[in-house]
Amino acid sequence: MRHSAKPAVTAFFDKRTFSVQYVVADPATKRCAIIDPVLDYDEKSGVTATFNADKILAFIEREGLVPEWILDTHPHADHLSAAHYLQEKTGAPRAIGAHVTDVQELWKGLYNWPDFPADGRQWDRLFADGDDFRIGEIEGRVMFSPGHTLASVTYVIGDAAFVHDTLFQPDFGTARADFPGADAATLWNSIQEILKLPEETRLFTGHDYMPDGREPQWESTVGEQKAKNKHLQQAQTQAAYVELRNKRDKSLPMPKLILHALQINMNGGRLPEPEANGRRYLKIPLNILEGAAWE
């Protein structure tokens, strides 16, 4: 396997949720992985769709790629995961970090689902810190990167690292750490581990919020993040970062889909089973996220 190979990375930006989805391919073998795919959902009408996932499928077919993995970096709070849908279409196995079981255990209580199986069986593989995998001939490695969630992982694939909600583009800073189970000090430690990767490592973020109205961006390097990340420039110690992060997070409203998304995403992207009338229903607990800023 090639440890320093350069995978081909194609990004798909979802403007509705500011999410970045990726197809990561080995040019030599045409094998690929799909990372953090979005299942479209309109919270006003309750309608789901597969616009984003179908664009990814069309790209894979057009390029002659063969999916080997469907990877989620963590159970997302701002969009529904299309991993289950894409597995049905491609047959590729789905994987996530092993600490997803901690998220499941936490949220099954918040949703009052005592019978929910919080053992990760919803995925084909649960990655532990340091686990290896491959895409074609390119080696991948898993880094446990908690702080934003209990389960977050970074996928290092060749010279590229998919850092999800830890670092954003340097002009926007870093991810929030105020969800249930999140922790700013832990996030700081995870960011420091990511920044130990080689300076030229390409970093790909999970979101971009386009500060000052610029066009969406999602790629930087370790060197650029060290030199320019606004939060890391403002707070150069863990204590200073925790103070900065906690102050900022108190001003942020919760993602509009967090209570919708977690019940889907901690179930591997599966929608709820239809009830007797053939319809599926979401369960929205009230007053469990008190204290968050209102828009």
pLDDT tens, 196-237? Answer: 999 999 999 999 999 999 999 999 999 999 999 999 999 999
Q: What is the pLDDT of residue 78?
A: 96
Is residue 244 within 8 A of residue 234, CB to CB? The reply is yes
Give me the pLDDT at residue 180, please.
95
pLDDT at res. 58:
98
* Confidence class for position 89, pLDDT limits 50, 70, 90: very high
Task: Say yes or no to pLDDT of 4 above 90.
Answer: no
Candidates 1.20.1250.20, 3.30.413.10, 3.30.1480.10, 3.60.15.10; CATH matching 8-265: 3.60.15.10
Q: Report the pLDDT value the prediction gives residue 127, as an integer from 0 to 100.
A: 98
Q: What percent of the chain has pLDDT over 90?
A: 97
Which pLDDT tens digit goes with each residue over 149-201?
999 999 999 999 999 999 999 999 999 999 999 999 999 999 999 999 999 99
CB atoms within 10 A of CB 15: 8
User: Token match 């998919």: residue?
Assistant: 162
Cα 166 to Cα 220, 229, 258, distances in angstroms: 13, 12, 18
In this model, does residue 2 exceed pLDDT 70? no
The pTM of the full predicted model, rounded to 2 decimals, is 0.96
* Mean pLDDT computed over 40-62: 98
Domain ranges for the chain:
8-265
How high does pLDDT run on average in the chain?
Answer: 97
Given a cut of 90, is residue 133 above it in pLDDT?
yes
Q: Give pLDDT, residue 1.
A: 44
Query: If you average pLDDT over residues 123-139, what whole number do you get?
Result: 98
Amino acid identity, position 270:
R
Task: Give residue for tokens 């970045």.
Answer: 20
At 102, the pLDDT band (50, 70, 90 cuts) reads very high
The string of pLDDT tens digits covering residues 252-286 is 999 999 999 999 999 999 999 999 999 999 999 99
Burial class of residue 248, CB neighbours in 10 A (0-12, 13-18, 19+): middle
Q: What is the pLDDT of residue 295?
A: 85
The phi, psi pair for 224, rounded to 5°, reads -65, -40
Average pLDDT of the segment spanning 11-31: 98
CB 268 within 8 A of CB 122: yes
- Decide if 259 contacts 237 (C-beta within 8 A): no
Sequence-distant (≥ 6) Cβ neighbours of residue 277 within 8 angstroms: none
Q: How confident is the model at residue 291 (pLDDT cuts 50, 70, 90)?
A: confident
Question: Helix crossing, 238-249 with 184-194: angle to 10°?
Answer: 120
What's the pLDDT score for residue 230? 97
Name the E strands within the chain: 8-14, 19-26, 31-35, 38-42, 47-49, 66-71, 80-81, 94-97, 125-127, 132-135, 138-144, 153-157, 160-164, 202-205, 219-221
- Which residues touch 88 (CB under 8 Å, ≥6 apart)? none
- Calculate what percentage of the chain has a pLDDT beyond 70: 99
At residue 71 the predicted structure's pLDDT band, cuts being 50, 70 and 90, is very high
Under the banding of pLDDT at 50, 70 and 90, the label for residue 92 is very high
